[in-house]
Chain A
Amino acid sequence: MRDDDSNKKEKQDERSGVSRRDFLKISSISVAVPLVAGPKAVLAAGEQVPVHGPGAGAMQFTINGKKYKANLEPRVTLLDALRDEFDITGAKRVCDRAECGACTVLINNKPVYACSVLAIEAQGKQVTTVESLMQQGKLHPIQQAFVDNDASQCGFCTPGFVVACKAFLDKHPNPTAEDIRHGLSGNLCRCGTYHGIQQAIAQVAQKGA
């Protein structure tokens, strides 16, 4: 989505008095989605824009390098598509409104809250979930560090945290303690595993993975 489009959308949200999340869920117009399966088009602000829905339409995704297809309503989020359509359940639904990070996945290598991205917007992009981090039965170094440092208790926040930590370390291979505290404050844990998570990140950073 281009920046000017995104600004436009935020403004629209303010005017209508609905939250962005509600807006995403009820809206069926998206100005920046690639044309798929021949949606009809309308003239809006002098431009021809495709209209999806109401009702389900064919969508396709690239998730963990594999192609997936589904018939989805435009209001379905990426998180619900992953979990309910494709049974990829590592990302969890917790707050369902971009507050806790339990649903963190990567889109084109950038961490996003999958509960607040529409599935329709994720088409044509690389979606990466926690399930893909393990390679040939071997845990990713950050996953191994979570195990070594006992960084999960109930474990429900863990997949989101692992993905967020991986993205964080990719960007900050040698973080300071302050970097870690700031960079990972978008994910919440109820059992209180932050101590182990800090140690896990330190372990990977030291090894220079």
Chain B
Amino acid sequence: MPDYSWPDAGHRTLIGKRISRVDSPVKVSGQAKYTYDVKRPGLLFGKILRCPYAHAKVISIDTSAAEKMPGVKAVHIIQKSNSTIHWAGDEIVAVAAVDEPTAEDAIRSIEVKYQKLPHLVSDAEPPKGAAEAQGPISMDDIDEMLDNQVPPRQMVEQIQQYGITSKPEEETLNGLKEDGATDDVINAIRAATVHPEEGTRPKSNYQKAAAQTVGDGEKAFAQAEVSSEGLYGAPVITHCCLESHGSTSEWTDNDHLLVHMSTQNVSGIAGQMAELLKVPATNIRVHQDHIGGGFGSKFGPDRWGIATAEISKKADGKPVRIMLERDSELKVAGARPSAYARVKVGAKKDGTIVAWQSESWGTGGPGGGGMPPIPYVLSIPNQRKEHTAIRNNIGPARAWRAPNHPQAAVITMCALDDLAAKLNMDPLEFFLKNIELATKDRQNTYREELGIASDLMGWKQKWHPRGQNASGNVVRGVGLSMHTWGGRGHASDCDLTLHPDGSVDIKLGTQDIGTGTRTTILIVAADTLGIPMDGIKLYIGDTLYPPSGGSGGSTTPGGVSSSTRRAAVDARDALFAKVAPALNAQPDDLESVNGTVRVKSNPSKSLSWKEACSKLGAMPVTVRGKNPDKSKPPDLTNSGVGGVSMAEVEVDTDTGVVKAKKMVAVQDCGLIIDLKMAESSCYGALIMGISYALFEEKVMDQTTGRMLNPNMEYYRLAGLNDIPELVVHMMTGKGYDERGVIGLGEPPVISPGAAISNAVANAIGVRVPFLPLTPDRVLAALSQKAGA
């Protein structure tokens, strides 16, 4: 059995070193072609007419003026008359025209009449005694859920929990399937209990999403010597990808579609489009070279992606491009669910945490959403928690980098920091004291990381009891937070070909979303084959290549590095088998280092890589590596990381302005493939954390039902001027390297918000309940403190 395991530190030539990204040169020189840059011959420009109301019925659509307009090539109604619209900005009509201004003119000429319906865009705390949606679900309810893009998992849970009102006909089920119901949903409906007697489900914006009890909360609080109560939360924020969502579709013949799409999920798009377009997935080719950000919001083709294909068909198959305008990108193409909670936590006098109680709520848009994983990281022995999901008209939620974890960190780590303050304990000591509540195999990691972070921050010199500052109007404070994530590698297939002339090519249907996937693959392959990275030609981003999972949940590095390692080991061993006779050696005695295939015990017996490959004969050798692959152990990827963030802030108590002064990230992720890129990922996460902690919020207006800040002036991202001293430390070496490769995209972005909130509380002596920590919120907290 070949040895697929990762080489130890002494035998790594590239893995774990600081290596520059292979695609940086094309990016810095403007040569990298993103989906937005692809200009196919005969390209038509698509535009979408969107509903201005948050909740409305479409009464009539008149596209006649647009259809007559010179330069307009096709008009396609996305949602017909009688459709119910559930969020402002939802798609009604798409047009394609010879240029963009003409398409815009055409959109302006379309007349749509709506009947406005009552809407809710707030995610404020549910009123006590608010009616809740419960009871069995009708097929109309299911239809509405599909309209609302409720995640399938959530639909299945509700169907299982409440049952259905009547057994549906096969025809109805087929209809639901056509409307996008997944097999899981259909199976859940088939298996559901029928409760016809209970009548229809009351309409409500509130849905009890979770109620859990662990241990005995009441008794534990009675025994707790100190308890703390508070309000915490994080609002809905957007993904704000710099390259907006979009695609260009063209029918190369009657039943073959070519799609250029900005996506995190190249291999998974064709299947999703096939069902809706009624063509076999194999007839759909999806291609992408570079993507301008996704952060969890680009896994599906989206309604506007399907529209490009449909409108292209109407325009004789000509390529049609629809890229969302900035306002639409912010309104409809991605939002992180909000989460808020009233939390009570109790501890013994020595700081041992004994009890947790939370009433939480939040919105994921029309789907409602679920409870974040609270209490986070620390499994408090006695817990009582309830969560209410608010179903409202702000548009559908999407996975946002580490789904639900940043919210869980804010709720948990801020509540516990308040408890530490009440105990008069340094939070660093408090968290260390309770670290045994963390999962057993990560406790030492957290201890080690907290220690290193403390040194890098200068925590011992900087921490002071809450609010006890040097006098003056500008005060400083420090705060910390911990986090966790899985990050196991996804399914990935890799084809590696050795050519007799010594050239090598690798093909994977994966994508590089700015996380360095190309570089990761080439480092693993080059290290394994013992040749330089530029001696390998890498092809990714196309459904022509073997499938790889979507880039979400930090699953890509583990997936592609494992499949590439297995392919490269098999290819190298196939080469050794051909070369061994020429070197008078056994294949097992050979190694490939620095472009030379040689006998381990006698390195002077060697062939250059090129000479060695010439022994392959006339035909190239192609091998496929897979992940996971139980037949080729060991497991090369792993799951479960820790991670710590610390923040130092400065707050002006006159203006309420918060400035980050220093941020520290200490992070483990198993075996690191490229230290430089790993550090970049953490620097970027700290910066993104500063951004959502201080600035970002999707602000909705209840009167109009619209987003008030769908632009980059008022939906503020952190700029260079907001960035303080940043320190990143990656955990490497014994205890980490041998775990295998674990993804890093999510974990470091989880804690900065909670750490910054805790630092602000430390500075000003009072908790600012909700992110972002804007001046008005800081001043409100200060005035409440003064009044208390």
Contacts and interface: CB of A to CB of B under 8 A. Distances in A.
Interface in B678-696: 679-681, 683-688, 691
Interface stretch (B61-69, B240-248, B477-485, B601-609): B240-248
B100 A80 contact: yes
Given A89-B37, A131-B29, A191-B293, A150 B325 contact: no
B30 A90 contact: yes
B60 interface: no
Nearest to A134: B29
A93 B515 contact: no
Most B-side CB within 10 Å, residue of A75, A152, A187, A194: A194
Contact of A89 (B30, B101, B295, B684): B30
Interface string B57-101: 000000000000000000000000000000000000000000111
B31 interface: yes
Nearest to A100: B712
Given A131-B30, A162-B28, A182 B721 contact: yes
B711 A99 contact: yes
A5 B23 CA distance: 45
Contact of B242 (A131, A151, A190): A190
B101 A102 contact: no
Interface stretch (A6-14, A39-47, A153-161): A153-161
Contact of A97 (B37, B293, B711): B711
B719 A92 contact: no
Nearest to B102: A73
B292 A155 contact: yes
Contacts of A158: 27-28
A190 B240 CA distance: 7
Interface in A112-138: 129-131, 133-134
Interface residues of A, number: 57
Contacts of B683: 192-193, 195-196
Interface string B17-30: 00011011101111
B720 A129 contact: no
Contact of A148 (B20, B32, B244, B677): B20
A198 B687 CA distance: 13
Given A131-B31, A195-B683, A181 B720 contact: yes
B101 A73 contact: yes
Contacts of A76: 101
A51 interface: no
Contacts of A131: 29-31
A96 to B, nearest CB: 6
A125 B702 CA distance: 48
Interface string B509-527: 0000111100000000000
Given A134-B29, A152-B28, A185-B720, A97 B326 contact: yes
A20 interface: no
Contacts of B676: 150
Most B-side CB within 10 Å, residue of A133, A150, A187, A189: A150
Contacts of A87: 39
Interface in B476-501: none
Contact of B723 (A89, A102, A181): A181
B398 interface: no
Contacts, number: 175
Contacts of A181: 720-721, 723
Contact of A154 (B29, B326, B513, B681): B513
Range of interface residues on B (Cβ < 8 Å): 35 or more
A129 B37 CA distance: 15
Given A100-B242, A195-B723, A153 B30 contact: no
Contacts of B36: 89, 92-93
Contacts of B28: 130, 139, 143, 146-147, 151-152, 155, 158-159, 162
Q: Is the interface of A mostly helix, strand, loop or mixed?
A: loop
Interface string B695-724: 000000000000000011100011111010
A194 B515 contact: no
Most B-side CB within 10 Å, residue of A94, A100, A184: A94
B537 interface: no
B326 A143 contact: no
Contacts of A96: 325-326
A143 B25 CA distance: 8
Given A92-B292, A139-B28, A150-B21, A99 B712 contact: yes
A31 B683 CA distance: 48
B565 interface: no
A83 interface: yes
Contacts of A100: 242, 712
A202 interface: no
B726 interface: yes
Given A96-B325, A181-B720, A192-B688, A139 B29 contact: yes
B480 to A, nearest CB: 20
Interface string A67-103: 0000001011000100110010111111111011010
A33 to B, nearest CB: 19
Contacts of B566: none
A186 B687 CA distance: 16
Contacts of A194: 687, 718-720, 723
B719 A154 contact: no
Nearest to A102: B242
Interface in B713-740: 713, 717-721, 723, 726
A75 B101 contact: yes
Contacts of B713: 95, 97, 99
22 contacts: A96-B325, A96-B326, A97-B713, A102-B242, A143-B25, A143-B29, A147-B25, A153-B514, A155-B514, A162-B28, A180-B720, A181-B720, A184-B720, A188-B719, A189-B242, A191-B514, A191-B684, A192-B683, A192-B686, A195-B680, A195-B726, A197-B720
Interface of A: 73, 75-76, 80, 83-84, 87, 89-97, 99-100, 102, 129-131, 133-134, 139, 143, 146-148, 150-159, 162, 180-182, 184-185, 187-198
